[in-house]
Amino acid sequence: MSDGHDLDHYADDLAAVTAHLDLKGAIHVGHSTAGGEVVRYLARHGESRVAKAAIMSAIPPLMLQTESNPGGQPKSVFDDLQAQLAANRSAFYLSIASGPFYGYNRPGAEPSEANIRNWWRQGMMGGAKAAYDGIVAWSQTDQTEDLKKISVPVLVMHGDDDQVVPYADSAPLSAKLLKNGTLKTYAGYPHGMPTVHHEVINADLLEFFRS
């Protein structure tokens, strides 16, 4: 596997695994940054091994605010995330998991200590440099042209209360750019909806797989 921390490297690693396993007719499912990885993989390596895909709470088309993407977030937002991670990544991961990732900072929310600790555990298992560089990868990679290249069916799943990847500038735009995209919006769901609403998300994925 490669050691680059950008979407091209992520996609190339995925392509290497699918080729090694000789996968055919695969269904790729990606959450958050992995949604961007799936999109870049399909655009960069083609669809010969793929039947369909699902992306949820995913980063495409582009999270960064630019002249052509005025609804995105200012670069200062992501610079601050990198600064927090560099200063104390343990505290950073704890704050993300305890707050916006699962929507535990919303009124009436009931935080799960198990979910928070497990998310923190996963973060701390990763490399510090990979996480630091990864913030640039998931926030500043424009995947507009990637999405236009994809022709297999893609289910675009996103909660409209996503505080990590804001809904309005992500899922609806991705669905429009895809040749065969279907948008499924979840009212009030947070970024980490596959965990806190797994019973709904898993059922919808299975329905899509079988369709």
Q: Which domains does the chain possess?
A: 7-210 (3.40.50.1820)
9 is catalytic: no
162 is catalytic: yes
Q: Which long-range contacts (CB under 8 A, 24 or more apart) does 164-167 make?
A: 164/32, 164/57, 164/96, 164/100, 164/101, 164/191, 165/32, 165/57, 165/58, 165/59, 165/63, 165/191, 166/73
pLDDT at res. 2: 57
Cα dihedral: 41, 46, 48, 52 (round 10): 50
Catalytically annotated residue among 162, 169, 170, 174 = 162
Catalytically annotated residue among 32, 98, 170, 174 = 32
13 is catalytic: no
Residue-level pLDDT, tens digit, the chain, 211 residues: 557 789 999 999 999 999 999 999 999 999 999 999 999 999 999 999 999 999 999 999 999 999 999 999 999 999 999 999 999 999 999 999 999 999 999 999 999 999 999 999 999 999 999 999 999 999 999 999 999 999 999 999 999 999 999 999 999 999 999 999 999 999 999 999 999 999 999 999 999 999 9
∠ CA 132-135-139, nearest 5°, is 165
Closest CA to 128 of 93, 164, 165, 163: 93
183 beta partners: 156
The span from the CA of 189 to the CA of 192, in Å, is 8
SS3 assignment, position 27 = strand
Report the length, in residues, of the chain. 211
